[in-house]
Chains A and B, each alone.
Chain A
Amino acid sequence: MSFFERLRLGLQGVRKKWSEGLSGLFSGGAIDPEFWDRLEEVLISGDVGAALSQSLVEQLKQAARERRVATTEGLYGLFASILAQRLSEVPLMGRPVEPEKGVLTIVLLVGVNGSGKTTTAGKLACKWAKEGLEVIMAASDTFRAAAAEQLKIWGERSGVRVVAQQQGSDAAAVAFDALAAARSSGADVLIVDTAGRLHSKHNLMEELKKIARILDRERGESKLETLLVLDSVMGQNGLAQAKTFNSALSLSGVVLTKYDNTAKGGIILAIADEMKTPVRYVGLGEGEDDLRPFDVEEFVRALLEE
């Protein structure tokens, strides 16, 4: 199966689910209070959130009045452009991390437990290694049992070196060592995989800040990208996650994982809207090629098209 074929299939699930709700809703019929209620419900059931769903519906109502759109079919295109605009307004939305040959780029992956950080690290390593970049991974998840082993398997797959220590060792020290290794070997990318942590756990967030602080202090001219890995099955707590990780680390983007799953991930609309944090990648499966840049147009089209 080709890469694009896989993407298409992955996205089909998304499209189907959204369109089940939306296309039915937009295919003729009257624009009555029940229509608006149902539209709001469709958004809410996609994890867009109650407040934002309401405001999106209000925005669509107003736009429909101004432009005298009287049919549900007409509302469809209008709504698509509203959603796309809200997302596109956010700087770096859909822009992948673009490491350059000869300049070290550090990618720090953070997130709650089980969001898919290690898998994302592995996919990024495969992708960049294939592009001919020199990649090193740091197994800074020193807490979870066999996390380093999992990353090493990804390292073998991608032919990428993994810097690791024993379970229970200092995560920041691993990051420090890996950065030194990346420097001395003239690597182009350093991917730092960290332990999953609930954002509400103060001490664990402090530990993460320490990793980020050390990377920031030691990085010199290198670029540092801090990406929040977010499970697309996440509900409204996803916004709290994004906010807390952002205030601790200043995120440069979100990776929306397991998007082939429920594939709604409506919470990213709230994250984009409230925090102006861009979605950079989507993960579509467990294979090494199942990661791609987030595409607004495609996302919205998939959202609304049959």
Chain B
Amino acid sequence: MFDALRERFESIFDRLKGRGKLTEADVDVALRDVRRSLLEADVDYKVVKALLESIRGRAVGKDVLESITPGQQVATIVYEELADLMGTEPSPLAISPKPPSIYLMVGLQGGGKTTSTVKLARRLAGSHRPLVVACDLRRPAAVEQLKILAAQSRVPFYGPEHGEKDVLRVVEGALEYASGHLNDVILLDTAGRLHADEELMEELAAMKRAAPPTEVLLVVDAMTGQEAVKVASAFHERLRLTGVLLSKLDGDARGGAALAIRKATGVPIKFAGVGEGTDALEVFDARRMAQRILGMGDVVGLAEKIREMAESGGAEKMAGTLKKKFTLEDLLVQFEQIERMGPLEKVLEMIPGFSRMKVAAGDEADSGRLGRMKAIIQSMTPSERRDPSIIKGSRRRRIAAGSGTSVQMVNQLLAQYEQMRKLWKQFGKQDKGFKLPKGLFGGGGFRI
């Protein structure tokens, strides 16, 4: 999701890296790029304008933290502004205290209403008895589509009589059917329509009056352009939306529409469609999304973790090793520190540029593997750990047996240690104090 925009940000902030101070000129250059990339991501141009103003004010002003590098400073500010815009508080689907809960699904043609309706019903099926209702009497075979999808997902379905033209009659029938079949959740799949089509918008308003909905959910294609704000505003004005479902977010769409819809309507984005299967629906996580847009990971969170680790003495221990030769004992200390920082996936996510490293580390980056690596080192004698060059064939077999791994894995670890040792020598030369070596996680360096 949002990968394209994230990559843009990464390249922007790469250029800012290695600067000592954040000048006004730096900020302007960066913001020009931020503007371009936000616009390319289909963020509404008015929203971009407002966003840049507040970022500039904060970046050049006193609000800047001195503890992290300039690129991260701007990134953090952009992140905070983005997160602010998206709204960080989760907004779960409202359930009516008095059943049934009625959800009215609305949107443009081809936005993904029918699929999303079934996805949502399937999600609710665990705790409720949902009923999906085909109210799209316009598009050929739309009723049939919902019926088939519902059957495939084992969700009860209600549809109009053949040749029915009056959608209000369908709603009426559905309510009756639901009360007879004890369905406590009713999802109304409506026909796609233009936000500018007065007649059809009125039809929705009439449906809303006939069956007062618990939620009115707008289904919006994540690939929508600048029109997204107008679409959302028009639907909101007419129907008082309560939530948005962002569909087709599994593509490479930059999805800037999401930012703007929230800003323009104040309506939270509640769900994201992330695939073609009817189970591919996620709760929309605005905070995570803002982080992902930036591609900077949870910069502040990482800084905190590193500070914690430094306070516990780990960093000094590590910094000390920079002065001398890097041994397998040091590698073991590193493994332990990585473990202490939390689940590996979580730590990796916090590291700036992780999206690129993920490619390098791939599926191999699992905590189980880290455990086995540790076991191999722990199966070595102290002299072996200090001087791995003495580990020949029979020692390798012994270590493999002792750690419950294979000679192959021992070989792998030793080869990677060798790469690591060379890398460490370079870090020692730089002598810039503690710095999480980038090569540790990817880029041809050590692979966990």
Contacts and interface: CB of A to CB of B under 8 A. Distances in A.
Interface of A: 13, 41, 44-47, 49-51, 112-116, 122, 143-147, 149-150, 152-154, 167, 198-201, 231, 233-238, 240-241, 258, 260-262, 264, 266-267, 286
A160 to B, nearest CB: 14
B51 to A, nearest CB: 14
A112 B141 contact: no
Given A116-B109, A235-B226, A44 B45 contact: yes
Interface residues of B, number: 45
Q: Which of A114, A201, A234 has the most CB of B within 10 A?
A: A114
Given A112-B248, A233-B221, A237-B253, A47 B227 contact: yes
Contact of A45 (B141, B144, B226): B226
B268 interface: no
A149 B42 CA distance: 35
Given A41-B45, A50-B39, A149-B144, A258 B109 contact: yes
Contacts of A51: 36, 40
B202 interface: no
B138 A153 contact: no
B223 A50 contact: no
What is the interface of chain A mostly: helix, strand, loop, or mixed? loop
What is the interface of chain B mostly: helix, strand, loop, or mixed? loop
Interface of B: 4, 35-36, 39-42, 45, 108-112, 138-142, 144-149, 152, 194, 196, 221, 223-228, 230-231, 248, 250-254, 256-257, 276
Contacts of B148: 145-146, 167
A235 B224 contact: yes
Q: Which of A46, A51, A113, A240 has the most CB of B within 10 A?
A: A113
Nearest to A267: B225
A236 B42 CA distance: 6
Q: Which of A150, A237, A238, A264 has the most CB of B within 10 A?
A: A237
A235 B256 contact: yes
A29 B146 CA distance: 54
A150 B226 contact: no
Given A146-B145, A235-B226, A49 B40 contact: yes
A250 B309 CA distance: 55
Contact of B36 (A47, A50, A261): A50
Q: Which of B4, B139, B227 has the most CB of A within 10 A?
A: B227
B227 A237 contact: no
A153 B110 contact: no
A114 B149 contact: no
19 contacts: A41-B45, A49-B39, A113-B112, A114-B110, A114-B111, A146-B144, A146-B147, A149-B140, A153-B141, A199-B251, A201-B250, A234-B224, A236-B39, A238-B223, A260-B194, A261-B109, A261-B194, A262-B230, A264-B225
A198 B251 contact: yes
A139 B443 CA distance: 46
Given A47-B227, A146-B148, A234-B224, A240 B252 contact: yes
Contacts of A231: 110, 221
B140 A154 contact: yes
Contacts of B254: 235-237
